[in-house]
Amino acid sequence: MISFQVFIKKVKQGNFAPVYLFYGEEKYLQEELTHQLAVAFLGQECEFGQEKITGGSLDLEELLARLGESGLFARRRLLIADNPPYLVPPVKTDEKNQSEEERSEESREKSDSELLENYLKQSASGVPDSILVFHAARVDRRRRLFKIIDKKGVVIECNPLKGEALAAWIRNRVSKLGKDIERPAVEKLLAAGDQNLHYLSNELEKYCTFLGEEEKNITVQTVEALFSGDIQGDVFKLSDAMAEGNITRAYDILDLLLRRREKPLLIFFMLVRHYRLLLQTCCLMEDGLPQSEFVSALEVHPFVARKLREQAVLYNRFVLEDILLALQRTDQQIKTGRIEPSEALKLILSRIDYIQSAANIGV
């Protein structure tokens, strides 16, 4: 298996394999890899030179035969087989209790392996005239076909990207759109929590369209102004307003969230989580924990840890404990049906404001 970055480098160099397998949970990444392969391999004939076969509509022999057919409008051919049944994990049983169907499956797998090996021998030298691409949600690495593809073709596991791998993907995607993105803006997106590539791709395209031709950099301000789902960031803004004693602004932010049709229970949950993290941060600061250790201690993204430290200095531990007790009582009222979640949010903001005001005047 190779990495996403190695694949991109090889494709740009015109180094193609006759067979590829892209598998894993991240379907968007499979489609993106296939698109980049098709553009590099087919060039201007990209629209006419590729075909997609779904599921088990063709067995491997028929698939290889289809691959060998010459196209009317393209010199090269790229054939995509989506979720073929001969790569998924088989149902295993005791050899003594094997059914006729299971024995037939083993025989078919052996036959398929020979077919693929013979095909790859014929495509061993030079740039291939045709490429076979398999997409699969999951595979059995013990299967002969997987081992053959891994040895003589290219296999890439397309699991959800995280951390620096996701940051690199974001920068690469923005670069393809003709823009740059500042590191703090990348951190803002990573901290938002929604790491679905299809969603992030749409967000990045929106930012680039907003910037137009003249502006080249996506900044934190761009993300804050346009990001459609940064509920964690909005909770930071809400708690910032509360820490400043600006209850009017806090109500405005809450109203914006509700008009954006964020679920009141989710907002409440995020608010509880936020104040728990604030209390934990405050205690760690009192204990003199080095700044470099906050990320691992809180188990959050560096951007979030930094924001928590900035807010925690505005509080003391006892005020945060009182706020969490108030949140706990409100949670009980919501669960017992005594108050609606949207109304509970307005009341808890008022209660938090009272707790902070009382602490400030020494009540």
Q: Quick one: 114 and 31 in the same domain?
A: yes
Confidence of residue 362 (pLDDT cuts 50, 70, 90): low
**pLDDT tens figures, 183-218:** 999 988 887 666 678 778 878 888 888 887 888 999
Judge if 170 and 74 occupy the same domain.
no
- Tell which wins on pLDDT, 11 or 233: 11
Task: Locate 227 and state its tokens.
Answer: 């990001």
Average pLDDT over residues 239-255: 88
Domain of 21, CATH number, reads: 3.40.50.300
Q: Are residues 340 and 255 in the same domain?
A: yes
Long-range Cβ pairs for the range 10-15 (8 Å, 24+): 10/154, 11/36, 11/37, 11/40, 11/41, 12/40, 14/40, 14/127
What is the helix (H) or strand (E) element at residue 78, kind and residue range? Answer: strand 77-82
Q: 257 and 185, same structural domain? A: no
Two tokens at 288? Answer: 């003199």
pLDDT in tens, 113-172: 888 988 888 776 667 888 999 999 888 888 888 999 999 999 999 988 888 888 988 998
Same-domain pairing of 144 and 9: yes
**What backbone torsions phi and psi does residue 51 show, to the nearest 5 degrees?**
-140, 145
Q: Which residues contact 40 (CB under 8 A, 6 or more apart)?
A: 11, 12, 14, 16
Q: What is the CATH classification number for the domain harbouring 292? A: 1.20.272.10
Crossing angle of the two packed helices 341-360 and 247-259, in degrees rounded to 10: 160
Q: Which domain range does residue 98 map to? A: 4-157
User: Do residues 22 and 60 share a domain?
Assistant: yes
Tokens found for residue 142? 């013990």
pLDDT at 351 over 50: yes
**Predicted pLDDT of residue 90:** 61
Please tell me the predicted confidence (pLDDT) of residue 103. Answer: 63
Per residue in 318-335, is it b (16+ CB within 10 Å) or e — as a string?
ebbebbeebbeebbebbe
The 10s digit of each residue's pLDDT in 10-54 is: 888 889 999 999 998 888 889 889 988 998 998 877 777 888 887
Mean pLDDT, the chain, integer: 84
Residues 238, 183: one domain? no
Last residue of a domain, one of 157, 180, 197: 157
Whether the CB-CB separation of 177 and 208 falls below 8 Å is answered with yes
125 lies in the same domain as 62? yes
Considering the domain architecture, whether residues 10 and 153 belong to the same structural domain is answered as yes
pLDDT tens per residue across span 69-88: 766 667 888 999 988 888 87
In degrees and rounded to multiples of 5, residue 45 shows phi and psi of -95, 15
Same domain, 57 and 150: yes
From 100, 126, 157, the end of a domain falls on 157
DSSP bridge pairs for 78? 50, 131
Closest CA to 134 of 46, 48, 63: 63
Task: Give the span between the Cα atoms of 236 and 83, in whole angstroms.
Answer: 42
Q: Where are the alpha helices (DSSP H) in 193-246?
A: 197-211, 220-226, 231-243
The pLDDT tens digits for 280-323 are 999 999 999 888 788 878 877 666 788 889 889 888 899 999 99
- What's the pLDDT score for residue 214? 80
Residue 329 in this model has a pLDDT that exceeds 50 = yes
Tell me, what's the pLDDT at 228? 63
Q: Are 123 and 16 in a shared domain?
A: yes
Structure tokens belonging to residue 231:
């509920």
Residue pair 20/79 in contact by the 8 Å Cβ criterion: no
- Of the pLDDT bands very low, low, confident and very high (cuts 50, 70, 90), residue 353 is very high
- Distance, in Å, from the CA atom of 181 to the CA atom of 166, rounded to the nearest integer, reads 13
State how far the Cα of 98 lies from the Cα of 102, in Å rounded to an integer: 6
Ranking 104-108, 179-183, 331-335 by mean pLDDT, the lowest is 104-108
pLDDT of the residue at 322:
94
> Do 18 and 129 belong to one domain?
yes
Nearest to 82 by CA among 34, 120, 147: 34
Q: How many CB atoms lie within 10 A of CB 32?
A: 20
3-class state of residue 337 by DSSP? coil
Last residue of a domain, one of 135, 157, 179: 157
| Tally of domains in the chain | 3
